[in-house]
Structure 1
Amino acid sequence: MRFTGLARVAVTAVMAGATALAVPAAAQAAVPVGGGTPILVGGVAGCTLTAAGYDATGASVAFTAAHCSDRINSPVILRDDKRAGVIGTVATRNEILDYSVIRLDPRVAVPVRQPGVTGTGPAPEFGDVVCKDGLATGHTCGITWQREGAKFWSQACAGYGDSGGPIIREGRLVGLLSGGHIPPVAGSVGGLGAVLPSCLHPAQAPFFLPALAYSFETIVADATDRNWPGAGFRMA
């Protein structure tokens, strides 16, 4: 088949357009996730990531509270960016230490380190000031009242949605926020859990329900001992 000069230009233009249409659209860049990132587990449970990074196999993982979901393989999405899609799924959970490991999808989410966090550290002791970051109450700080093994209680304000949030002391990740509980020693003076208000109470009482957290170093050691996803965790 022979074409005139004008026809050849037209055919070339059409072929170029067809080639351009055949090239797939660029994939959306992976979204950064790390300590303090608000999430929805199973599409409904609002929680917060403790930290994100890589386990001993090189897999991208993140931690949050176990009570955010009672099912393995529950999908996890970003609370503030649902259009990003499923960033990962719950790979394993330990109800005793209240932690879940999320296996991140590297095509959707990339682990990042929480600003200002230099590494991990041991659980705080009585009198240590700690701070937490969470979906519901943001950044709050308070004194540590008590430590009992892997558990510790602090006066850092926390509410629903903060579960799984990072507890930081002097720039180091020391704990995973579990919830509001009265430590055992308080049981001797009655049902304080029913008396003390949430820190979000309109009265803004100076004393409110202490927040329970678990040692993050203990959590990582537990996952490592069990050879679970998250074993040998290192922060991004």
Structure 2
Amino acid sequence: MMRAKGKATFLDAMKETTSPVSPAAAKEALKEDEWEVRPGGMLVQKRDPDSDAPAGAPVPTVRLKVKFNGVSHEIYINSQASFGELKKMMSEKTGLHHEDQKVLYKGKEMDSKAFLDMSGVKDRSKLVLLEDPDAQAKRLIEQRRADKAHRASKSVSRISLDVDKLATKVSALEAIVRKGGKVVEADVVALTEALMTELVKLDAIAADGEVKAQRRLQVSTHARPN
């Protein structure tokens, strides 16, 4: 019954994906190892419930030797942990970000989602940790992109507040005109110039995605002629 439930969950996930999946591809995927999300949010191989130890049985801790830059580190870790969890432990010891690491076991690079015991790692096994320049470069680029988007979003929000203040003054002048009153032309000119200055600032912000949409909304709202 647990296997059937696992397959149903997988099919549900397949239906929610934005990429089209052919029936043949879905059938093939079901034959492969399935994945599960651990409480910490890490995606790992899904264990076969038929092969697990009896419920309540203690999970053994293994002692591993992980070599990095000529230095061997002794690690005590749950034998059913994933290589991703091992990388996070090594990050604390080496200072190397876990996403910038490669772990080799018997000369083969191990997937972060795979389990230690299911990959053959046992007590006193030896592994090698390497720095992954490509992964590091990709992570740093993504981080810079996220930081840039965050700064742009803050700039748009700040300008939006200034524009809203000016819009309130414009509304006040319009109310005077509707009641038959007169406004000083210099005030109208000053407000118009101030609004245009803020719109120029918005236009100067390089933005992508949601920030770009946020900027476009501000421009379309306040650049619309009355």
Q: If the TM-score is normalised by the length of the shorter chain, which range does it land in? A: under 0.3
Q: Which structure carries more relative contact order (alpha carbon 8 Å, separation 6+)?
A: 1
Relative to the length of structure 2, the TM-score reads 0.22
Larger proportion of strand: 1
Larger proportion of helix: 2
